[in-house]
Amino acid sequence: MGAQGGIQALFDYPIGWILRPHGLRGELVAKLFRARRSGVLGRRRHAVELVTAHTRDSSAHHDSSAHDDGSESGRSRRVLRLVRFTDPSTAVLQLEGIDDRTAAEALVGAKLYVDPSDAPSCLLDEADGLYGALAIHAESGASLGRVSGILDNGAQPVLALGDEDDPILIPYVDAFVASVERTPEVTRVMLRPIDGLLSLESDEPSAH
């Protein structure tokens, strides 16, 4: 999601939250919602969006001034300088502009969001790329809704479909996922029938 005319779209994919400061140089310990493989950040510049306890703006865009100072809006966007894993679900982050412990302490509890189309591979994996994808019944072609979240059961990623409060949960394994189809316009994840779960066709029209 790029900036257009000084307006930046919200990053909409949550990956974790800030647990505590680390050391005296502004580093932050982040707890991730899903276990990650260890990795390095690389040379490309990537950003994260931090949302503090203030209510997250429900509008589609926000003023570009929030890029540098989220004190009023409760949201700020920072470039990642460092990602270092201490265990599969905990990482030490260093963010541009957060240079001392006082600044780091102000971000404790903030939720971390990324743009899934432009995030470092050490923070996202193949399953994360299905966030927002259209789920399709592999046999009938019926739409089953959107992938509204990616969870983790300790063994593999789990796709959450539909209602965020009462989702259908599908393990991201070959037994359930027939294929993934990507085009510039849309990503579709084709799901095999599952007795008692996806055995009935959706009432929604088929996707073409």
| 53 and 154 within one domain | no
Please report the pLDDT score of residue 200 as a whole number. 44
| 91 and 15 within one domain | yes
Please report the pLDDT score of residue 11 as a whole number. 80
Task: Determine the Cα–Cα distance for residues 203 and 98; give it in Å rounded to an integer.
Answer: 50
| 42 and 13 within one domain | yes
Domain boundary among 56, 81, 114: 114
Domain annotation covers residue 76: yes
| 101 and 23 within one domain | yes
Please report the pLDDT score of residue 198 as a whole number. 62
Domains held by the chain: number: 2
Task: Determine the Cα–Cα distance for residues 123 and 85; give it in Å rounded to an integer.
Answer: 10
Question: CB–CB of 157/36 below 8 Å?
Answer: no
Which residue range is the domain that position 39 belongs to? 3-114
Please report the pLDDT score of residue 6 as a whole number. 37
| 47 and 93 within one domain | yes
Sheet of 3-4: strand order equals 3-4, 7-9, 61-62
Domain annotation covers residue 82: yes
| 96 and 29 within one domain | yes
| 45 and 143 within one domain | no
Domain boundary among 114, 141, 174: 114
| 55 and 16 within one domain | yes
Give pLDDT tens digits along the chain (208 positions).
333 333 345 688 899 999 999 999 999 999 998 887 666 666 778 889 999 864 344 333 333 333 444 444 588 899 999 888 999 889 999 999 999 999 999 999 999 999 887 888 888 888 888 999 999 999 889 898 899 989 888 788 999 998 777 888 999 999 999 999 998 889 999 998 777 666 544 444 444 4
Question: CB–CB of 175/163 below 8 Å?
Answer: no
| 181 and 81 within one domain | no
Is the full-model pTM beyond 0.95?
Answer: no
Please report the pLDDT score of residue 16 as a whole number. 93
CATH, residue 133: 2.30.30
Domain annotation covers residue 119: no
Domain annotation covers residue 204: no
Task: Determine the Cα–Cα distance for residues 156 and 168; give it in Å rounded to an integer.
Answer: 16
How far are the Cα atoms of 68, 112, 156, 170, 178 from residue 174, in angstroms, in the given order? 43, 30, 11, 11, 6
| 37 and 8 within one domain | yes
Domain annotation covers residue 196: no
Please report the pLDDT score of residue 73 as a whole number. 53
Domain annotation covers residue 207: no
CA angle (47 as vertex; 44, 49 as ends), nearest 5: 170
| 109 and 7 within one domain | yes
| 37 and 97 within one domain | yes
Please report the pLDDT score of residue 68 as a whole number. 41
Tokens of 103: 């600044």
Domain boundary among 114, 145, 169: 114
